[in-house]
Amino acid sequence: LGTVLVAEGINGFYGPKGWLTQALVAMGLGDPPRLTHNYTGVMIALFVQHFPFCFLMLLGYISGIDPALESAARVLGARPFQVFRRVMWPLIAPGAAIAFALVFVMNFGVFPSAVLVGQPAGATRTIAIAAYQQAFEHYDMSMASAIAVVMGLCQLIGLAIVLLLRSRVAATGMATVGVGKR
C-alpha cells in the first residue's frame, strides 16, 4: 500500500497535471519537465520511499560513535573532510553496507513504482515486470519462473558481494568500534 500511495503522490505532484508542473507553466518557464512516466519518476519514487529507511538505519550507527573521537581528530588538525574520511566513515561503513544491501534487495524487484510512475513498456521495464508479463499476459509460467529464479540469483550474488566486501573491511581492522552517544 505504501508504494502505491507514494506513486500516486509523485504523479499528483510531478505529473503532467501535477501542481508543480502547473506552477512552472503558470510562471512561464517554458515547457514543463517530464518527471513522471520515465526513469526519473521511478527514481524519485524509490528515493522518497527508501530514504527514511536508510536515514534511520545510518542514524543508529552515527549516534553510536563517541563524540570524543571526532573532537580528538579536530584537535589534531584534521579538516572536516578528513574527519569524515578517517574517523566517521570507517565506523559507519558496516552500517552503510547493510543499508545498501537491504535497499538493493528492496529495489531490485521494483514493480509498483515502475508500473505506476514509470513507463512499463519502455525505459522502466524491470525484470519483475518481465516476469509478470510472462506469467499473466503470455501465460508462460515456466518462463516467468525462470525469470524469477534469475532475479533471485542476481540478488543473492549482489548480497554476497556486499557481505564479502564488508567482511574484508572488518578483517583489515579499518572499521573499529567507537561507542558513545551524541
Grouping H, G, I as helix, E, B as strand and the rest as coil, residue 179 is: strand
Q: In whole angstroms, what is the distance from residue 9 CA to residue 48 CA?
A: 10
Whether 37 and 17 have beta carbons less than 8 Å apart is answered as no
pTM comes to 0.77
List, in order of start, the domains of the chain with CATH numbers: 52-172 (1.10.3720.10)
Q: In whole angstroms, what is the distance from residue 167 CA to residue 172 CA?
A: 9
Query: pLDDT, tens digit, for every residue of 62-91?
Result: 998 899 999 999 999 999 999 999 989 888
The mean pLDDT value for 5-22 works out to: 88
Query: What separation in angstroms does the CA of 121 have from each of 1, 112, 114?
Result: 23, 14, 10
For residue 61, how far is the Cα from the chain centroid? 18
